[in-house]
Structure 1
C-alpha cells in the first residue's frame, strides 16, 4: 500500500542533511556544478546524469564516512532547482548527500528518459538491488547506447553480481569515449575486473592440475591448498586411493587424509585409506592401474566396461567399483545396487551421491515430487555446512526440479545457494552451469536484463563452447521474441544454429515462432530434424516430449493444418496423462490450446473457439454476457455472448509490440457494444491477459472468472469477519507504517500487531466468511512470482503471505476477500495458468476477491473498499458494486487508482 510522502520543508532538509542556509546565485552551470559536485573527491561511485553532478573527481571510498563531506547546496540553490522543475538536479543533490529516500520521490515524478532511467539505476545500486539497476540501465542504453553514465553504472551493477567479464566490457566501453578523468578510471576498473577473473581462472586451473597430479602420483598438495579447496581435493583423494598402485603410495596420501578429516570432521578418509591398505595388491594393483588409465588417461579397458565392472565385483574392490560406475554412467541401471555399495562405505559423501542419483533418475522420468522429496531428505545431511560440493550439487538439481514444477522463486533460491556453496567449495568450473540456470530462470520471471547479463557472462567465459553458445543465444532469442524484437531474435537464433542445429526445446520453440512471424527457410528447416535428434538421444522426459509435440504441431500447422492439428491433439493427450504437478505438461497443454484457438479464430470459427475455451477450462461457460479472450504473441482472439445469446467474434494478428501493463485496446468496441446491455459480464481470459486492468470500459460491471469452479457447496458457517490490520512489517523492509484503520461493524475478529503473522492469518482465514487485509503488498521475485502480502514476522523471520501458501490452504467459509494491499492483483508470468493472490484465494475456496493491480494510497483504501463491501452486503453483485463505486471516484478524479481494482470470482 502506498503511503503519501509528505512535503518536506527545505528547512527540515537543511537541518537533517546539512544544506547551507545562505548563498546561491543565478544558477549558472558553473554554480550548479559547485553545488552538485563539490570538493576534490566524489562521494558516490556511480555516475549521475545531470551534467553539473557528473564533473570528474577521483572516487574515494572512505569519503562518505570520513567526516570530510563538502557542504551541500544552499537552500536558495535547491529552491532554484525546484523552480526550474529540475527533478534530476534535486535527485542528484540528495543522492550526493546520502539521502536516497528523498531522491526517490523526485525520480518517481520525473518523466521516463535515458537520463532518468540511469538515475533510477543509481538509486537501485544505493539500495543494493543490482538486478533492478540492470533493468533500468538496459532501458537507458536501448535509447542511448553510448551513454557514458549508463555504461559506467552498468559496469558497477555487473561487478556487484560478480559478472567480471561483462563488467570489464562496460568500463572498456566508457574508456573508448575518451572523457577526461573518467576514461582513465574506467580503464583501471576494467583491468581490475579482468585481473580478478584471470586470477580465479588460474587458481582453478592450478588446483585442477594439482588434483590430477595427486591421482597420477606426480605431485602432492600443500596444507594451504587443502584448506582452500577441501571439497575439490577430497574428490581427488578418493581417486588417488583408487589409482594407488601399492601400499607405499597409500602411505604417502595419509597427510592429505588427515588434513581433510580435520576439516570435515570424523575419520572417513583415513578409514578409506585403512580399508585400501588391507587389500591384496597383487590382485588390486592391476585393477587400480586400469582405473587410472580408464578414468584419467581416456584409455579403454580390455574387454570393455562391463567386463571391468565384473572383475571389480568379483574382487570386492568396493571403492574402485563405486568410482567406475559413476564415470561409466552405469549408476542408473541399478540404483539399489549403487545405494547398497554407498551404504557399505559409511561415508556421507557416497550416501549423498546415491540419493542424488536416485533424484536425477526420478527427474528424468518426470517424477518431480518424488525427486523433490529425495533431495530434501538427502539435504538433512547438509546441515553441518561441511559437504559443500555434494550439497551444492543437490541444491542445483533441486533448482531444476522446482523449475520444472514452475516454482520459480524456489528454483532461483536453490540455484543461487548451489552457486554459493560450490564457490565456497572452490569449484570455479561449476559457476558457468549455475549462471546458465539462473539466466534461464531470470528470463522465465520476466527479468530480461538480468537474464541476458547472466547468460552473456557464462558465454564470455567459455566463448568456444558450442553447447553454451546455443543455450545462451536460443534463450536470448526467446527473450527478444517476448519483447517482439523479431529481427534481433532472428539474429540471435542464427548464431545459436551455427552450433549444429536445434539442441534445446527453447530453441525449437523460438524457431517455430519465428517461422510464422518472419520465415527464413534456411533456419526453419532445421527445426524438425533437431526435435527428432533430441528424441533419439533420449533427452525428452514425458513432459518435455509433450512440449516437443506441441512445437512440431505449432510449426506444421502453418503449412499443413490437419497434420499440425493432429500433433497438437497428441500433445494435449500426452500432457493429460502426466501428473498434475508437472509444469511442463501444463505448459504443453496451455500452449497447444493457444495454437488451436488461433487456428479457429483465423478461420472465423467462433463456436469452435468458444468450445475450445470451455474444453481448456474444464467447465461450462455462461451462455449470456460472456467475454472470452486470448492473446498469443501477435494474435488476439475475442469472442462474446451478449444478453440475447448471440455470439460475436474478433481475430487479429497485427500486433508488433508487447502487451502494455493494462489491457486497454485488446477488446474492440464492436465486441464491447453487445455487452453494454448486460447487468454483469463474466470474463474468461487466458494468460497473459488474466488479471490485467481496463480490459473492459470503466462503466461496465465485469469480473474475471477463475475456472474450473468448485462443485462442492461450502458448509453453512456462521458469519465471521476477519480483519488484518496494523501489521508490524520487518524493519529491514523499511516500509512506512500504514495509517490506523478501524473496521466498521460487530462480530469482527481482528488480527493486528505482532499477532498478524502468516501462520496466524492462514489459521484465522479457514472458517471466515469475510476476510479483509490492510497491509503492504510487494512484488519480490525471490519469494513469489505473484505479489505477496507483508505481515508481521514469525519467530523464524517469515513474514510473506504468498499465493502458493494461500492456494494450498482451504477456506471453508467461501469468503468475500478484500485485499487492500498494493498490487495485490499482480499476476505472475506463467503461460499455463493464472497465478496471482486473487486466483489463489479463489482456488482455496473464496467466492469473491477484490484487489488492485497498482499502488493504493493508504488514506483512500479504507473508504473505497468499505463502500464496495456495503453495496455487496446490500445484495449487489460484486462487479456491479465495484463499477458503481469506481464511477463515483472517477467523476471526482479521472486518473484515480480506482479503475485498477478488479473482481475475481
Structure 2
C-alpha cells in the first residue's frame, strides 16, 4: 500500500478529531465553511479537470483551461472541517469528489472504494479509469450508467472524453451534442462548441479526401493536375495516381509533365522508384503503347474494356508493356490467378511499393490454400520492410490484412494490435475515406476479445462516419446484435438484427449466428425464409471457404433444432462429420464442431437424456470419461447443463435456462448444491468443463479434490527421462511494467536447474523446458490483451526486447519429460474468452505434453507462494494425486484465512 493510500484510509480519525477541536475552540462551523464553496473550488475562475464529477455539489460549471506550465500551482487543500463533516455523515462519495476536483486521483480512488455502488459513483470511477489510461474500462462503466439513465449529463460528458481517448471523434461529437441538448447553464454551451468543432474537422477531412479522389481522375487521363504540396499530405495515394497516370499517358510529352511529381514523391519516400517508372515508360515505342494506354483508362475507371479483358491482357503481353500489365492485373483483381507472372514483373521493377503489393497477394494466395502460417510469415516479413522504409498507405493495408488473418486464426490480441497500427498508418496518410473499414475490423476484433463496450464504440463510429452505406449498416447492426446477445440482452439483439433488413442483401455469418440463437429467445415470422434465402446463396460454388461454410451450416442446424429436433440433430451430425475431414489447423472447422456439440448437449439436457448427454462429453473429447466421480458442465448464453456421476456410478443431471446476465470470471454457485453433495463421497473428481468454463475457479468447493480433465495430444510415447527440476525465478522484468521484485529464490535443490536474472529469457526457458520433468515458475503473470488473449509470464528481456512467454509459444513446443508444471505466477490460469476451445497457459502446457499443471486465477502474494506450492509439490512427489495434494494443503491454509487466494489455485491434468 502506498503512502497516499495509507493517508486516505486513515484520514477518518484525523477528520473526526478536527471536528471536535473546532467545537471546543469555537471555530467556524462546517456549515459555514460549506457556504464558502471552498470544498468545491467554487471561487476558482476555471476548473482543473476536464471531466465532470458526478457529485452534484461539485459539478458547478467553470470553463476548462489547460495548464501549460511544467509545474502548475497546486490547488488549495480541501478544508479539513468540511471533509470531517462529510465523513461523519458517511458521505465517502463527497470526499472522493473533493479530491477528484483537485486532481488527487489516488486519494479519490480510496474513497470511491468506500462509496458503494450507484450511477454517480460509477461515472466518477470512469473518470479515474480514464485518468489512469484505461479508456476501455471507463467506457464499460459509463455504458452501465447510461443504460440505466440515458440522460445522465456527467456520464455523457465523460463518455465524450473517453471517445476522444479512443480517437473516435464522431461518437465524441454525439456525446457532446447529447449534453448540449440538456441545456445546462455553461455546460451546454461548452459541449455545443466542442461538438461543432469536431463535426467541422470530420466534414473537412472527408471533403478533402473526396476532392483528392475526384482530382485524381483528370490527373490520370491528362486533363487536370495535382498540386505538389499534396505530396506532404497524401503521399501514398498520390503515388497510386502517378502510377496510373504513367500507364495512361498517350505520349512521351505527357510523361515529361509528370517528372516534378515523380521527383517530389521519390524525395518523400526515398529511392528512385517513381523516376525509374517514368524512364522505363519513356523508352517505349508509343506507336504500339499509345492504343494500349488509351484502353488502360477503361481499366482505371472500371469500365468495360473494348474487346474484353483476356484479349487486352494478351496484347499487353505481346507488346511487353509490363507496367500497364501489372496495373491491369491489380485493378481487375486478376493477380491471384496470374501470381507467378506478377511476381516476375515485380522482380524486374525492383520497386519497393510493388514488392509490398506482391507480398500482399502472396499472403492472399496462401490464405486461399489454407496455408495460414505461410501467410503470416509473408506478411510479417513485409512489415519488417515497412518499418525500414515506411509507405503508410500500402503498409496500412498489409497491417489490416494481418489483423484479419489473426482473427481467422483466432488470435485476436495480435490481430487487434495490428489493426490499431493499420489505422495509425492510415491516419498518417490522412486517408479519411477508407478509415471506416479499418474501424469495422477493430470492432469485430474487440467483439472476439469479449470487450463489448469497445466493440460497439468502434462499430458505431464507423457507421457514424458513413451512415448511408448499406454494407456498413448491415455489418454494424449484425455485429451489434451479436454483442447484445452475448450480454443476454435479447430484445436489443432482436432490434439490431431487424435493422439489418433495412438494406437489401444477405445475412453475414454473424447475423446467421444471432438469428439461430433468437429462434430460441425472440423468434420472428420471417426468419426461416430469410435464413433459407441466405444459405442458398452461400452454398453456391466458391461463395465461401469450406470451414466458414461449416460454421454457418451449424448455425442453420441450430435454428432448425428449435423447430424440428430430429432434423436439426441430423444437420449437426453432418457438420461434425465434415469438420473431421478438414485439416486441424482450420479454426472454422474446430469452431463448427464445438458449437455443434454444444447444441447437441443442451438439446439432450433439456430433454432429460442425461446418459446420452454425458456420452456426448466423452465423444467430443475423443475417448471414454471416467466411470465414477466425473462432473460435466457446459453453458450457452442463458442455459446451463450440469451432469455428475458419483462414487456409486449413479448419474444426476440439471438443466437450467434462467440466467439473465453473463457469467463472471469465477463459477461459484454454477453447480447446484445437490450435485455437489452427490460428488462429496469421491476421492477426487474429474471435471469436464467446456469453454468458456474451462479454467474458472469455484466450480466445486475448496474441500473437494478436483481437477480439470484435459485431453492430451496424441503423440508417440517417449522414453522416460531422468528427474530434472527446472526453476525460473529472480527475473529481471522490463522496467515499463513497474513490477515489484519478487522474493529472492533460495538455493535450488540438488539436481535442479535455476534460471534467474538475465538468463531467464523466453528463449532460454523454452529451450530448458523441453527435457524437464518438473517446471516451477516464480515470476509475474500478466494479463495484457495487447500481447495475448490469455495471461503470459513476464521473463527477463532478450537483446531484441522479447520478454513474454505466451500460451501460443508454449503450445508449439514438445515437453519430452511430461513435467509437473507449477505456475506460481499471478493469474496464470486466466483463460481467453473463446467458446470453441480452451486457450490458456495451463492448456498450452498440457498440449505441449505436461502431465499436470497447477495455476491460479487471481493474484498470488509473493510472501506465501513458495511455502504453499512447496507443500503441494512435496505431496505430489510422495505419490499423492495432484488434486488431492492441492485440496489437503488448501484446506489447512483456509483454516487460518477462509478468504485466501489458495481458493483459486486449479489443477489441470
- Under a length normalisation based on structure 2, what TM-score does the superposition of the two structures give? 0.93
CA shift in 2, pair 1:89/1:817, >3 Å: farther
Asked whether the equivalents of residues 614 and 621 of structure 1 are also in contact (C-alpha less than 8 Å), the reply is yes
1:404: which partner in 2?
Answer: 408
Asked whether the equivalents of residues 422 and 438 of structure 2 are also in contact (C-alpha less than 8 Å), the reply is yes
2:390: which partner in 1?
Answer: 386
2:889: which partner in 1?
Answer: 885
**Paired residue for 2:432, among 428, 433, 436?**
428
CA shift in 2, pair 1:849/1:268, >3 Å: same
2:777: which partner in 1?
Answer: 773
CA shift in 2, pair 1:584/1:4, >3 Å: farther
Asked whether the equivalents of residues 494 and 523 of structure 1 are also in contact (C-alpha less than 8 Å), the reply is no
Asked whether the equivalents of residues 579 and 593 of structure 2 are also in contact (C-alpha less than 8 Å), the reply is yes
Shift of 1:600: 2.3
Counterparts in 2 of 1:589-668, with a 5 A limit?
Answer: 589-668=593-672
Shift of 1:567: 2.2
Cα deviations by residue, 1:184-214 (Å, 9 ceiling, x for unpaired)? 1111211221122122112212222232231
Asked whether the equivalents of residues 168 and 194 of structure 1 are also in contact (C-alpha less than 8 Å), the reply is yes
2:418: which partner in 1?
Answer: 414
Cα deviations by residue, 1:578-628 (Å, 9 ceiling, x for unpaired)? 222221111111111111212222333333222221221123321111111
Asked whether the equivalents of residues 231 and 426 of structure 1 are also in contact (C-alpha less than 8 Å), the reply is no
1:499: which partner in 2?
Answer: 503
Whether 1:9 and 2:14 are equivalent positions in the alignment is no
Shift of 1:79: 4.8
Counterparts in 2 of 1:425-504, with a 5 A limit?
Answer: 425-504=429-508
Cα deviations by residue, 1:157-196 (Å, 9 ceiling, x for unpaired)? 1112221110000011111222222111111211221122
1:17: which partner in 2?
Answer: none
**Paired residue for 2:161, among 147, 153, 156?**
156
What SS does the aligned partner of 1:725 have? strand
1:139: which partner in 2?
Answer: 144
Asked whether the equivalents of residues 90 and 103 of structure 1 are also in contact (C-alpha less than 8 Å), the reply is yes
Asked whether the equivalents of residues 416 and 445 of structure 2 are also in contact (C-alpha less than 8 Å), the reply is yes
What SS does the aligned partner of 2:654 have? strand
In structure 2, list runs of 5 or more residues that go unmatched: 13-17
1:788: which partner in 2?
Answer: 792
1:184: which partner in 2?
Answer: 189
CA shift in 2, pair 1:327/1:630, >3 Å: same
CA shift in 2, pair 1:752/1:40, >3 Å: farther
CA shift in 2, pair 1:64/1:473, >3 Å: farther
Q: Give the Cα separation in 1 of the matches to 2:288 and 2:887.
A: 86
CA shift in 2, pair 1:694/1:401, >3 Å: same
CA shift in 2, pair 1:225/1:48, >3 Å: same
1:118: which partner in 2?
Answer: 123
2:235: which partner in 1?
Answer: 230
2:54: which partner in 1?
Answer: 49
2:835: which partner in 1?
Answer: 831
What SS does the aligned partner of 2:563 have? coil
Asked whether the equivalents of residues 90 and 106 of structure 1 are also in contact (C-alpha less than 8 Å), the reply is yes
1:272: which partner in 2?
Answer: 277
**Paired residue for 1:361, among 343, 349, 365?**
365
Q: Give the Cα separation in 2 of the matches to 1:122 and 1:756.
A: 39
Shift of 1:138: 1.4
Counterparts in 2 of 1:288-367, with a 5 A limit?
Answer: 288-296=293-301, 298-367=302-371
Cα deviations by residue, 1:680-722 (Å, 9 ceiling, x for unpaired)? 0000110011111111223211111111366655654444433
CA shift in 2, pair 1:397/1:896, >3 Å: same
CA shift in 2, pair 1:6/1:200, >3 Å: closer
**Paired residue for 1:71, among 76, 100, 125?**
76
Shift of 1:438: 0.5
CA shift in 2, pair 1:623/1:868, >3 Å: same
What SS does the aligned partner of 2:647 have? coil
What SS does the aligned partner of 1:771 have? strand
Q: Give the Cα separation in 2 of the matches to 1:627 and 1:70.
A: 60
Cα deviations by residue, 1:514-539 (Å, 9 ceiling, x for unpaired)? 11222112234301211222333733
Cα deviations by residue, 1:397-442 (Å, 9 ceiling, x for unpaired)? 1111111110111111122222222222333222111100010000
Counterparts in 2 of 1:552-563, with a 5 A limit?
Answer: 552-563=556-567
Asked whether the equivalents of residues 8 and 110 of structure 2 are also in contact (C-alpha less than 8 Å), the reply is no
Q: Give the Cα separation in 2 of the matches to 1:684 and 1:4.
A: 42
Shift of 1:443: 0.6
2:15: which partner in 1?
Answer: none
**Paired residue for 1:846, among 844, 847, 850?**
850
Shift of 1:253: 0.7
Whether 1:763 and 2:779 are equivalent positions in the alignment is no
Shift of 1:773: 2.6
Whether 1:547 and 2:545 are equivalent positions in the alignment is no
Q: Give the Cα separation in 2 of the matches to 1:136 and 1:755.
A: 42
Counting matched residue pairs gives 897
After TM superposition, the structure 1 stretch with the greater mean CA deviation from structure 2, 131-140 or 708-717, is: 708-717
What SS does the aligned partner of 1:875 have? coil
Q: Give the Cα separation in 2 of the matches to 1:837 and 1:232.
A: 44
1:697: which partner in 2?
Answer: 701
CA RMSD of aligned residues (A): 2.8
Q: Give the Cα separation in 2 of the matches to 1:423 and 1:525.
A: 42
CA shift in 2, pair 1:115/1:861, >3 Å: farther
Shift of 1:738: 4.0
Shift of 1:835: 0.9
Q: Give the Cα separation in 2 of the matches to 1:26 and 1:718.
A: 78
Asked whether the equivalents of residues 497 and 523 of structure 1 are also in contact (C-alpha less than 8 Å), the reply is no
Asked whether the equivalents of residues 25 and 31 of structure 1 are also in contact (C-alpha less than 8 Å), the reply is no
CA shift in 2, pair 1:629/1:439, >3 Å: same
CA shift in 2, pair 1:764/1:78, >3 Å: farther
**Paired residue for 1:808, among 796, 806, 812?**
812
2:532: which partner in 1?
Answer: 528
CA shift in 2, pair 1:366/1:765, >3 Å: closer
**Paired residue for 1:735, among 736, 739, 744?**
739
Cα deviations by residue, 1:850-869 (Å, 9 ceiling, x for unpaired)? 22222334444344334433
CA shift in 2, pair 1:744/1:281, >3 Å: closer
Cα deviations by residue, 1:258-313 (Å, 9 ceiling, x for unpaired)? 111112222221222222222232332222222214422x5422222222222222
CA shift in 2, pair 1:4/1:252, >3 Å: closer
Q: Give the Cα separation in 2 of the matches to 1:645 and 1:55.
A: 68
Asked whether the equivalents of residues 172 and 195 of structure 2 are also in contact (C-alpha less than 8 Å), the reply is yes
After TM superposition, the structure 1 stretch with the greater mean CA deviation from structure 2, 833-842 or 106-115, is: 106-115
Q: Give the Cα separation in 1 of the matches to 2:28 and 2:323.
A: 82
CA shift in 2, pair 1:703/1:709, >3 Å: farther
In structure 1, list runs of 5 or more residues that go unmatched: 15-19
What SS does the aligned partner of 2:599 have? helix
Shift of 1:66: 4.7
CA shift in 2, pair 1:712/1:245, >3 Å: closer
Q: Give the Cα separation in 2 of the matches to 1:170 and 1:376.
A: 39
Shift of 1:838: 1.6
Q: Give the Cα separation in 2 of the matches to 1:11 and 1:815.
A: 46
What SS does the aligned partner of 1:8 have? helix
- Under a length normalisation based on structure 1, what TM-score does the superposition of the two structures give? 0.93
CA shift in 2, pair 1:766/1:78, >3 Å: farther
Shift of 1:220: 1.8
What SS does the aligned partner of 2:65 have? coil
1:251: which partner in 2?
Answer: 256
**Paired residue for 1:588, among 588, 592, 598?**
592
Q: Give the Cα separation in 2 of the matches to 1:870 and 1:90.
A: 50
CA shift in 2, pair 1:105/1:578, >3 Å: farther
Shift of 1:742: 4.7
